[in-house]
Amino acid sequence: MEPFNVHILGCGSALPTLHHNATCQVIEIRGKVFMIDCGEGTQIQIRRSKLHFSKIQAVFISHLHGDHCFGLWGMISTFGMTGRTVPLHIYAPEDFEEYFHQSMKLFCNGLGYDIHFHGLKTTEQKIIYEDRSLTVETIPLEHRIPCCGFLFREKPTAPHIRRDMIDYYKIPISQINNIKCGASWTTEEGDLIPNSRLTTPSAPPRSYAYCSDTRYMKRLHEVVRNVTLLYHESTYASDYRDRAKLYYHSTAEEAATVARDAEVGQLLLGHYSARYNNEQQILDEARAIFPNSTLANEGLVIKV
């Protein structure tokens, strides 16, 4: 099975601490590398993770709060100093475009590679990236400013050929692709060999949904239903429920409720308030509702 990994580079919230870095994740999927959000300190975290700068082909910015984007220009500048030549794609809320280009003129002239900005309508659920093996679509979220999450989905792959059956029925190599596409085979004697005897099913497609920052949304579970892994912000435990409501954040209980109602495979919690020196309370509250919950932490790599 092709790798599909989520690297946690930062999982803290707005106030910098010595305990957690600002939000950033790197997604490895089928040989491609993407970044979600780029908080302050991202470059150092990339070096600690031993991920390669040059392999990041796109950055997805969820919203324009500094803990999700202040690291972007430093990283773009470093890409230029390290000799990058391939284009970099930036996907971010459309209101960001003018400020982004102004900042590029101030800090990032003469890079040696191209930057392509893609403005997002955060109120739309829409596919914004697609290639032969995956799609990325936006997830409208509810925060104090325009904000969206991102849903990474593998495309279904062809079934696996049963080599023993191919050899037994002396099926020519030229017919392999047809069989992968669902064709059966007729022998010289006229016997029909069904496709199900010639193949085994491929692994089910995997998916990852990133939802940060947002208040609890009663219908979010419909958008992320059955995803393999859900990252949902859990800035507070229930002791700060009123604060979560005021600042359009979620509690661990609310994140777990989304995971339970969506019937996801696993819940990953993050975006912790600096008020907590230990996130065990957050984890305990989530697991009371959705047992397969895990705390994000810097350096953690989750295999989807």
Asked if residue 258 lies in contact with residue 232, where contact means CB atoms within 8 angstroms, the answer is yes
Q: Are 122 and 138 within 8 A, CB to CB? A: yes
Q: Are 35 and 26 in contact (CB under 8 A)?
A: yes
CA distance 74 to 59: 13
Token pair of 257 as six digits: 């409720």
What DSSP element (H or E) covers 36? strand 32-38
Task: Compute the distance between CA of residue 259 and CA of residue 84 in angstroms, rounded to an integer.
Answer: 39
**Nearest CA-CA partner of 10 in 267, 255, 233, 250:** 233
- Nearest CA to 119 among 96, 101, 141? 96
Pick the catalytic residue from 37, 67, 239, 284: 67
Q: Contact, 198 vs 170, CB < 8 A?
A: no
Q: For the packed helices 72-81 and 42-49, what is the interaxial angle rounded to 10 degrees?
A: 60
How far is residue 260's CA from residue 256's CA, in Å, rounded to a whole number?
6
Tokens of 151: 């849903």
Q: Reply yes or no on whether 67 is catalytic.
A: yes
Report CA dihedral (140, 143, 145, 151) to the nearest 10 degrees: -30
Catalytic positions are 67
